[in-house]
Amino acid sequence: MRVNRRGVAMLATLVSVLACAPADEPPPATHPASASAGAGEPGPASAGAGEPGIGDPDFPEDGNGGYDVSHYDLAIDYSPTTKRLDGVTTVKATATHDLSSFNLDLTGLNVRTITVDDAQATFGRKGSELTVRPAEPIGKNDRFTATITYSGVPKPAKDSANLGTYGFIPTSDGAFVASEPNGSKTWFPNNDHPADKATFDFTVTVPAGVTALANGEQIGQPTTAGGKTTFRWRERHPMASYLATATMGKFELRQGSTSAGIPNLAATDPKFKGSLDSLYTTSAEVTDYWSTVFGPYPFSSTGGVVDDYSAGYALENQTKPLYGGFHPDEAIIAHELAHQWFGNSLTISRWKDLWLNEGFATYAEWLWSEHKGKKSAEALFNENHRRSADDAIWKYPPGRARPGDLFNQSVYTRGGMTLHALRKSIGDATFFTLLKAWTAEHRYGYVTTEGFVALAERLSGKDLGPLFDAWLFQPRRPA
């Protein structure tokens, strides 16, 4: 289903019905109605060529048009000593229009061969665009399988504003893999934009003694032969490419399940051994508590990984948040696990709506503090509201995250404050009903700011236009 932006409102209800499925029956991973690159707009440059971007005006080259991925099968063999990766990526997709060629995103690395439905394809590369020309054109609505064999030394991506290095980052004993917003192209060819989620299988081969931790659950026991161990993982629920990980290294593990019965896996680099038990226990407690506040946990397992790489940040990798080089406290665990609902199950289809991830996860930190009898959300809101009038967060409207400065503090803090202002306006009962309705209606799907505002107005019966406008879109401190 591909419509232009004007069709989004009309289709929102239909999409939300389709997106609603129980955790053990994942729906097919399809594009959001709003992710259209081409429908209703001028056609592709040459008839039959897939578009080189998915249609996010802020990131014109990220993702691709002309097809919809349903599944990735990643096989990678990585050597921490040579830092060389040998990979085979199998992409299962459906053409959304006739295709004489289509693009994938991949940065660096050498592509050896590509087949489409078992026939040799030709390909070309330009920057991060990999253009694939199948032997036979693919018809609209046809399903096809592309297999890309590649290798090389992955180079991480750099963000000048807030993040530093991201993507596939080599460490002394393996790799730290955290790809938001568009770093998955540094380690496998894919449709590198959250507007095309898919399920994933991982087969990761590393030197014996090294552990590979990918998303979802382990399939069978690791097998060792010839000094190498192969780990298999499967994420059965739709996942944005930026949440995919295959973090490798020496790890201590603790496994079990939460009180509510969700499988829980904590892993820490030996240097952070002291964090293993608290990571395990807090992740379990937070997952169960958020399930009572936000609605049922969307995935089949929870947990976290602490690696010895000083990212200074954590990333909410699906089912396995990754903490970079520090002891994670309760607040950051509460933040990353809140993203399992806000960001991972409910996914933005345009990066400008990032406050729907970061504002919600920040507000979750405040809710956790309140739950624990520490500072209330109200107190935390007030502390921030008292920031001086020339504080940078008042100039940066969080409802419109900027491509060069996506992870600005305003998107987090003023985004979180927006939710508290909303809570005060509509009252606790409606606010907490709204959070659950939001996650239920868009479970495993795609979300927009307009959709959230519309639901808040529907459930409260109030005109919330002025509130959201002041908090999300004005370059000044709201009253």
Q: Residues touching Zn ion: how many (CB under 5 A)? A: 2
**Footprint on residues 382-421 left by ligand TRP (CB under 6 A):** 407
367 is a contact residue toward ligand TRP (CB under 6 A):
no
346 is a contact residue toward ligand TRP (CB under 6 A):
no
Tell me whether residue 212 or residue 332 sits nearer to Zn ion (CB atom).
332
Q: Largest alpha-carbon pair distance within the chain? A: 66
* Options 14-22, 118-126, 291-299, 306-314: segment touching ligand TRP (CB under 6 A): 306-314
Among 104, 146, 178, 333, binds ligand TRP (CB under 6 A): 178
In angstroms, the Cα distances linking 158 to 114, 155, 177, 186, 194 are: 28, 10, 14, 11, 19
**Footprint on residues 318-337 left by ligand TRP (CB under 6 A):** 335-336
Among 104, 361, 417, 453, binds Zn ion (CB under 5 A): 361
Q: Half-sphere exposure of residue 206, counting CA atoms within 13 Å on the CB side?
A: 21
Partner touching 198 among ligand TRP, Zn ion, none, CB below 5 to 8 Å by kind: none
In the stretch 149-168, what mask flags binding to ligand TRP with x, by CB under 6 A? --------------x--x--
Tell me whether residue 68 or residue 358 sits nearer to ligand TRP (CB atom).
358
Strands 252-257 and 129-133: unpaired
Partner touching 407 among ligand TRP, Zn ion, none, CB below 5 to 8 Å by kind: ligand TRP
Tell me whether residue 304 or residue 451 sits nearer to ligand TRP (CB atom).
304
Among 316, 353, 365, 441, binds ligand TRP (CB under 6 A): 316
Strands 347-348 and 102-105: unpaired
379: DSSP letter: H
Amino acid identity, position 198: A
Shortest reach from residue 335's CB to Zn ion, in Å: 6
348 is a contact residue toward ligand TRP (CB under 6 A):
no
Strands 164-170 and 175-178: antiparallel
**Phi and psi angles of residue 107, each rounded to the nearest 5 degrees, phi first:** -110, 130
Among 105, 180, 192, 307, binds ligand TRP (CB under 6 A): 180
Torsion of CA 443, 447, 452, 455, to 10 degrees: -50
Partner touching 166 among Zn ion, ligand TRP, none, CB below 5 to 8 Å by kind: ligand TRP
Paired tokens of 192: 């590198």
CA–CA dist 412, 100 (Å, integer)? 42
Strands 110-116 and 228-239: unpaired
Partner touching 314 among Zn ion, ligand TRP, none, CB below 5 to 8 Å by kind: ligand TRP
Strands 263-268 and 302-307: parallel
Partner touching 311 among ligand TRP, Zn ion, none, CB below 5 to 8 Å by kind: ligand TRP
308 is a contact residue toward ligand TRP (CB under 6 A):
no
Element (H, E) at 74: strand 67-79
314 is a contact residue toward ligand TRP (CB under 6 A):
yes
Three-state SS annotation for 103-140: EEECCCCEEEEEEECCEECEEEEECCEEEEECCCCECC
CA–CA dist 76, 231 (Å, integer)? 10
Among 262, 276, 311, 380, binds ligand TRP (CB under 6 A): 311
Partner touching 19 among ligand TRP, Zn ion, none, CB below 5 to 8 Å by kind: none
Q: Which residue is nearest to Zn ion (CB)?
A: 361
Contact 178, 310 (CB under 8 A): no
Shortest reach from residue 339's CB to Zn ion, in Å: 6
CA–CA dist 332, 322 (Å, integer)? 11
337 is a contact residue toward Zn ion (CB under 5 A):
no
Q: Mention every residue, 6+ apart, whose C-beta is less than 8 A from residue 303.
A: 264, 265, 266, 267, 279, 280, 283, 319, 320, 321
Coil/strand/helix, residue 24: coil
235 is a contact residue toward ligand TRP (CB under 6 A):
no
Shortest reach from residue 229's CB to ligand TRP, in Å: 26
Partner touching 353 among Zn ion, ligand TRP, none, CB below 5 to 8 Å by kind: none
Tell me whether residue 117 or residue 405 sits nearer to Zn ion (CB atom).
405
C-alpha closest to that of 44 among 55, 59, 35 = 55
Partner touching 313 among Zn ion, ligand TRP, none, CB below 5 to 8 Å by kind: ligand TRP
91 is a contact residue toward Zn ion (CB under 5 A):
no
Tell me whether residue 102 or residue 341 sits nearer to ligand TRP (CB atom).
341
* Options 85-93, 189-197, 312-320, 363-371: segment touching ligand TRP (CB under 6 A): 312-320
Name the β-bridge partners of 161: none
In the stretch 257-296, what mask flags binding to ligand TRP with x, by CB under 6 A? ----------------------------------------
Strands 157-159 and 164-170: antiparallel
Catalog residues that contact ligand TRP under the rule CB under 6 A: 163, 166, 178, 180, 311, 313-316, 335-336, 358, 407
Catalog residues that contact Zn ion under the rule CB under 5 A: 358, 361
